[in-house]
Structure 1
Amino acid sequence: MSVLNIDVAKLKKQYIYIFLKRLIDVIASIAGLIILSPLFLVVALCIKIDDPRGPIFYSQIRVGKSGRKFRMFKFRSMVTNADQLLKELEEKNEIDGAMFKLKSDPRITKVGRIIRKYSLDELPQLVNVVTGSMSLVGPRPPLVHEVEKYSDYDKQRLLVKPGCTGLWQVGGRNDVDFDEMVKLDLNYITHRSTFLDIKIMFETVWVMVKPNGAY
Structure 2
Amino acid sequence: MPPTPTVRTTDLDRIVLASLKEVHNKGAELYNAGDHAGALRLYQGGLIVAKPLLDHRAKQQTEIHEGLDQVTKSTADVKLKAFRLHEVIEQVRGDLKEEAKLAAASEKPAEAAASGKVTLNGKPTAGVTVAFIPVGTTKALGTAKAGEDGTFHAATALNVGTYLVTLVGDGMPAKFTKPETTPLRAELKAGVNSLVFDAK
Q: TM-score scaled to structure 2, two decimals? A: 0.23
- Which structure is higher in strand share? 2
Please identify the structure whose Cα radius of gyration is greater. Answer: 2
Structure number with higher helix proportion:
1
TM-score, normalising length from structure 1? 0.22
